């Protein structure tokens, strides 16, 4: 954590609980950087999260109001708080399992209503906290603690899902693209309506070691190589595209 962002950290919080090589610290920094650049008043910010590693990004670290809720329910809690007090800037930060699996129904309905929530999904493509089980975002063929032979099912494309459901700002970035990610979070904060940013965040502990990416830097390298912009994807064949992750703003 760059010291400059320390002023946004809750006094008394000394260390993050994240594993070595986890991408969530990078995402945490991008969020705080965006808040800093926009000079947001932390006293008017409410951070809502569900259950899982990513839910610990705002709670207890961020020195605003935080609501650490139940597994999957972050957006329903956030909806209630935002509707009753529209002056709050409400940001939900949670994981892929929390938002799109157990919380899938709240996810599409919050998007449909286009309620002014800034939703950031830290997608590590696996259930990290509970021991590396398959998620609704795990790529087909990937090994997890519950798919030893490789995941037989297709993952969600969260951006397409939420766009179809009615979100009005949709983007995908990786923690390996911190500048673009920070700019995107700033746009999301300024956007009025339901905004969604999917942030690819490596989990070497649970995902990497089961999928031949044992070392943290290997996961980072892998993301750097695979993440391409929409324009770069245009000339590629379907086979080449299958290995890539398209990033950028899809709806703004």
- Residues at the site binding other proteins, with contacts judged by CB under 8 A: 10, 12, 42-44, 46, 48, 59-60, 63-70, 73, 76-85, 87-88, 105-106, 109
End-to-end alpha carbon distance in the chain: 29
Residue showing tokens 């970035």: 173
CB of residue 16 to other proteins, shortest distance in Å: 13
CB of residue 76 to other proteins, shortest distance in Å: 4
CB of residue 190 to other proteins, shortest distance in Å: 19
Q: Residue 6 CA to chain centroid, in angstroms?
A: 21
Nearer to other proteins, 81 or 236 (CB): 81
- Strand 45-49 and strand 118-123: the pairing is unpaired
Residues 6+ apart with CB under 8 A from 29: 1, 2, 5, 178
CB of residue 110 to other proteins, shortest distance in Å: 9
Paired strand residues for 72: none
Nearer to other proteins, 70 or 224 (CB): 70
CB of residue 50 to other proteins, shortest distance in Å: 10
Nearer to other proteins, 79 or 205 (CB): 79
CB of residue 86 to other proteins, shortest distance in Å: 9
d(CA 17, CA 189): 26
CB of residue 107 to other proteins, shortest distance in Å: 10
Nearer to other proteins, 165 or 228 (CB): 165
Nearer to other proteins, 105 or 225 (CB): 105
DSSP string, 132-152: SB--TTSPTT--BTTBTT---
Nearer to other proteins, 1 or 81 (CB): 81
Q: Taking phi first (over 0 means left), then psi (-120 to 50 degrees means alpha), and beta for anything else, what does residue 134 get?
A: beta
Residue 249, classed as helix, strand or coil, is strand
Task: Give exposure, 47-81, as e/b (b: 16+ Cβ within 10 Å).
Answer: bbbbbbbbbbbbbebbbbbbbbbebbbbbbbbbeb
Nearer to other proteins, 45 or 122 (CB): 45
Outline where DSSP puts E strands in 158-244.
Answer: 169-174, 195-200, 227-229
């Amino acid at each position: 954590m760059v010291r400059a962002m320390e002023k946004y950290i809750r006094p008394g919080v000394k260390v993050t609980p994240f594993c070595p090589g986890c991408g969530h610290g990078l995402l945490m920094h991008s969020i705080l950087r965006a808040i800093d650049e926009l000079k947001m008043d932390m006293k008017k910010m409410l951070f809502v999260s569900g259950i899982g590693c990513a839910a610990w990004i705002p709670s207890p670290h961020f020195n605003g109001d935080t609501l650490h809720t139940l597994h999957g329910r972050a957006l329903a809690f956030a909806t209630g708080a935002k509707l009753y007090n529209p002056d709050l800037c409400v940001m939900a930060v949670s994981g892929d399992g929390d938002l799109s699996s157990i919380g899938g129904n709240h996810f599409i309905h919050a998007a449909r209503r286009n309620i002014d929530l800034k939703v950031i999904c830290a997608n590590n493509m696996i259930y990290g906290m509970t021991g590396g089980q398959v998620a609704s975002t795990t790529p087909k063929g990937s090994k997890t603690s519950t798919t030893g032979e490789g995941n037989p099912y297709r993952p969600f494309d969260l951006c397409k899902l939420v766009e179809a459901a009615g979100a009005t700002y949709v983007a995908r970035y990786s923690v390996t693209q911190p500048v673009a990610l920070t700019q995107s979070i700033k746009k999301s904060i300024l956007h009025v309506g339901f905004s969604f940013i999917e942030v690819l965040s490596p989990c070497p502990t649970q995902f990497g070691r089961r999928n031949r990416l044992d070392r943290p830097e290997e996961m980072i390298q892998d993301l750097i190589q695979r993440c391409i912009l929409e324009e770069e994807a245009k000339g590629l064949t379907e086979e080449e595209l299958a290995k890539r992750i398209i990033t950028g703003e899809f709806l703004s």
